[in-house]
Structure 1
Amino acid sequence: MRILHTSDWHVGRTFHGRDLLVEQESVLGGLADLVVDEKVDVVVVSGDLYDRAVPSADAVGLCARVLMRLRAAGARIVITPGNHDSAARIGVFGEFAAFGGLHLRTRIAELDQPVLLDDEHGPVALYGIPFLEPEPARHALQVETRGHAGVLTEAMRRVRADLSARRTRSVVLAHAFVTGGAPSESERTIAVGGVQDVSSSVFDGIDYVALGHLHGPQRLADNLRYSGSPLAYSFSEARQRKSVWLVDLDAGGLAGVERRELPVPRPLAALTGTLGELLTAPEHADLEGHYLSVVLTDAVRPMDSLRQLQKRFPHAVHVEWRPEQGRSHAMTYAERVRGRTDEEVACCFVSDSRGAEPNDRERKLLREAFAEVAREKLT
């Protein structure tokens, strides 16, 4: 049996305010071609199918189209929810979907009831462990120990108890932070009142563990891996090579794992320099189609810097102002604001406070506020 291990689709996510649905459909829809080319039998999604518990209609439509393409390509699909998902919403109509080859494993009470799929060597038991919110899961599983380790340990005890009676090959889908994994900036913390990570030994005895939650592809052991997210969702992921794992099971269990890199719809990059330099330097021409995070080193913070940068770099989405060491500190506040209007000073304050420049609506509100103050002074 050949399994395609994916996770953390985060359908519906935006990138610094930019819609990513087109890029997501391009990459995720392309998985169907991989299913055909690599003769994949099963596609697994180990949590965070969506980016939010109540996804938009556009996100749901995109996800439905991608899943239909995967099914039409010949793969059966197993999905379990992550910490961004609503397990109840994903699992609705799950019994009916299973007849069409889409298996939604969303219920804590059923985590030890596997999806059984056959190949020429017999059955393979695929167990889907939905993301276990520690406190609700602790009560549902009747666990005394608090934290992720306690509930996952009990979940895996139940899985092993079922597996021991079946004596077949096994795959576990789990959405968790396993010790030794490297996080990125785009993951939402799953620590609630305690330590969030669990030991890899929790999953001992399983032929392959398809992990989700961390967005960088990584191998913790031959049989224990994160596929990572299919797209970069933060600039901390700019150097990651997004990919999926092709997992082969033979009669004896895990036979091998291969990596397949995914296409990059729009690369990420970072630039540092003064605004004037960045707008004119010819060596940056190859970055004009990238998503950009920019650090400006001007001694005085430029006004409308993001808008000016976007004239050359239309996909610049993040700007920080870090003046060169010593130059800004030598200036008094009065010197830094000299010659600027009240609106310009207020906009700089907003930018410094939250790390993003005011939008057109906010600028309009600031102008109206200053105009109101001016009218009151005249009365």
Structure 2
Amino acid sequence: MKILHTSDWHVGKVLKGQSRTEEHIAVLAQVVEIARAERPDLVIVAGDMYDSAAPTPEATRLVTRALSALRGTGAQVVAIGGNHDNGAALDALRPWADAAGVSLRGTVRESAADHVLEGETAGGERWRLVALPFLSQRYAVRAAEMYELTAAEASQTYADHIGRLLGVLCQGFGPGAVNLVTAHLTVVGATMGGGEREAHSVMGYAVPATVFPGSAHYVALGHLHRAQQVAGPAPVRYCGSPLAIDFGEGENVPSVAVVEVTAESTAKVRDVPITAAVPLRTVRGTLAELSMMDGDQPGWLRVYVREAPRAGLREEVQALLPKALEVRIDPDMLPQTAATARAERAGRSPRDLFADYLESRGHADESVQELFDTLYEEVSA
């Protein structure tokens, strides 16, 4: 069978005030075109379809149309909730999804069977898929209790709960079918993409690849935005995001994964690049150096300007490079102090405290102090 694995669309993303709706329309159209060309039997969307738990109507319309279009290629479609998604809201869409032929799983339900999906390709290959949406630490404990596993003590780790849940859900894996898992989580040893929500990516949220059974033919993961294979008892892969979500992802190659596998063979994976999004680039230089750059080159810019901080510097940079969404002082231009003594607040005016802050940052521009004074007077009035 052939599988198209995609995730982390983050529809509704606004980057430094810049809407990316048109980019998402183009990117998802390209994903659908790839599905039409590749003719997969199954499309897996491994979470974070939205960037926000409260998506706009426009974002909801774009996601539902994309899922419908993927189903329209003839493939079975399975989508799960990620940490950015509102799982309960996705579950509320299940009547629509069922009618559209899309299997949508937003949260873990009381019935384990609700997360085990089965099907058969046009060529007669049987497949079985365990779909595990994102679980916070609190709900991982509740989910473990729902399935009446061994006592779920609060002291047990997140990885313990995920491992036990997958153990129950994957009990039916056996010969004669392609056994698949999709989940939205962080695996130990994987590389961050640069734009993930760190609170749900590090420390207690990382699980070892050993939580996945060796009987799985392919594990389709979402959450980390860089496409990569992870060593484990089964083929474990992140397909990455189909577009760079934030400037930390400028070096990633946006793609979807196409997987070919049978019940008797090892999964063969190839990445298909997605080129429709505007690239995100980081540039550095003085104003003179920046003025020599071609401001018409494609891509949104993060600029590290090698100038002393001063009022109006951002506007000067954006006049040279209109696509500069983020302007920062190059860290090399800031004072390298190990620790700045904290100003004593008692009896000191906000103006004096702000002046101390400016001095600690190497910012000697009196006009900035004057702007602060004006703002403070307005607020005080």
TM over 0.5: yes
- The change in CA–CA distance for 1:211 and 1:190 in structure 2 (over 3 A counts) is farther
Q: 1:323 to 1:93 in 2, by over 3 A?
A: closer
- Mapped partners of 2:95, 2:111: distance in 1: 12
Give the C-alpha shift of residue 327 in structure 1.
Answer: 8.8
Residues 112-131 of structure 1 mapped to structure 2, 5 A cutoff: 112=113, 113-119=115-121, 120-131=123-134
Deviation at 1:231, TM superposition (A): 1.0
Asked if the contact 1:135–1:146 (Cα under 8 Å) also holds between the matched residues in 2, the reply is no
State the AA in 2 paired with 1:319: V
**What are the equivalent positions in structure 2 for 1:149-160 lying under 5 Å apart?**
149-160=159-170
How many Å separate the matches in 1 of 2:378 and 2:331? 32
Residue pair 1:147, 1:192 contacting (<8 A) in 2 also: no
- Root mean square deviation, CA, Å: 2.9
After superposition, the C-alpha distances for 1:133-164 in whole angstroms (9 at most, x for unaligned) are: 12222123123353321121111111222335
1:86 alignment partner in structure 2: 86
CA-CA distance at 1:206 after TM superposition: 0.7
Q: CA deviation at 1:35?
A: 0.9
- Structure 1 residue 343 and structure 2 residue 370: aligned? yes
Measure, in 2, the Cα distance between the counterparts of 1:327 and 1:191. Answer: 33
301-310 or 2-11, which deviates more: 301-310
Deviation at 1:321, TM superposition (A): 1.4
Q: What's 1:350 paired with?
A: none
CA contact (8 A) 1:275 1:305 kept: no
The alignment status of 1:322 with 2:330, answered yes or no, reads yes
> CA–CA distance in 2 between the matches of 1:219 and 1:129?
19
Where do 1:51-90 residues align within 5 Å?
51-90=51-90
Match of 1:230 in 2: 242
1:351 maps to: none
User: What is the CA–CA distance in structure 1 between the aligned matches of 2:186 and 2:106, rounded to whole Å?
Assistant: 19
SS in 2 for 1:307: helix
Task: Give the match for residue 49 of structure 1.
Answer: 49
Contact 2:176–2:263 under 8 Å retained in 1: no
The match for 1:349 is: none
Amino acid in structure 1 at the alignment position of 2:167: R
Q: In 2, are the aligned partners of 1:288 and 1:313 still within 8 Å (CA)?
A: no
What TM-score comes out, normalization by structure 1 length? 0.82
- 8 Å Cα contact 1:343/1:370 also seen in 2: no
Alpha carbons of structure 1 residues 83 and 313: separation in structure 2 relative to 1, 3 Å? same
Distance 1:326 1:126, change over 3 A: closer
Percent identical pairs in the alignment equals: 29
What is the distance in 1 between the residues matched to 2:379 and 2:269? 66
Indicate conservation of the 8 Å contact 2:89/2:106, yes or no: no
1:290 pairs with one of 291, 294, 299 = 299
Aligned length: 347
CA deviation digits over 1:199-247, x for unaligned, max 9?
A: 1111122111000110111011472100111111122211111111101
Whether 1:174 and 2:169 are equivalent positions in the alignment is no
Bigger drift between 137-146 and 41-50 goes to 137-146
Partners in 1 of 2:365 and 2:102 — Cα distance? Answer: 64
- Find the counterpart in structure 2 of residue 248 from structure 1: 260
Q: Which moved more, 1:289-298 or 1:82-91?
A: 289-298
* 1:180 Cα deviation from its structure 2 partner: 1.1
**Is this contact kept in 2: 1:5–1:245, CA < 8 A?**
yes
Please give the alpha-carbon distance, in whole angstroms, between the structure 1 residues aligned to 2:365 and 2:187: 53
Structure 1 unaligned blocks of 5 or more: 347-365
How far residue 309 of structure 1 moved from its aligned partner, in angstroms, is: 2.0
Residue type matched to 1:275 in 2?
L
Cα–Cα, structure 1 residues 110 and 287, in superposed 2: closer, same or farther, change >3 Å?
farther
What is the CA–CA distance in structure 2 between the aligned matches of 1:294 and 1:129, rounded to whole Å?
A: 39
Q: What displacement does 1:250 show? A: 2.1
Q: Does 1:195 align with 2:204?
A: yes
Partner of 2:283: 271
Q: 1:191 to 1:333 in 2, by over 3 A?
A: closer
For 1:3, what is the secondary structure of its paired residue?
strand
Gaps of 5+ in 2: 146-151, 338-357
The one-letter code matched in structure 1 to 2:134 is F
Instruction: Tell me by how many angstroms 1:310 deviates.
Output: 2.0
Structure 2: distance between partners of 1:127 and 1:262: 27
TM-score by length of 2: 0.82
Q: Give the letter for the 1:53 counterpart.
A: A
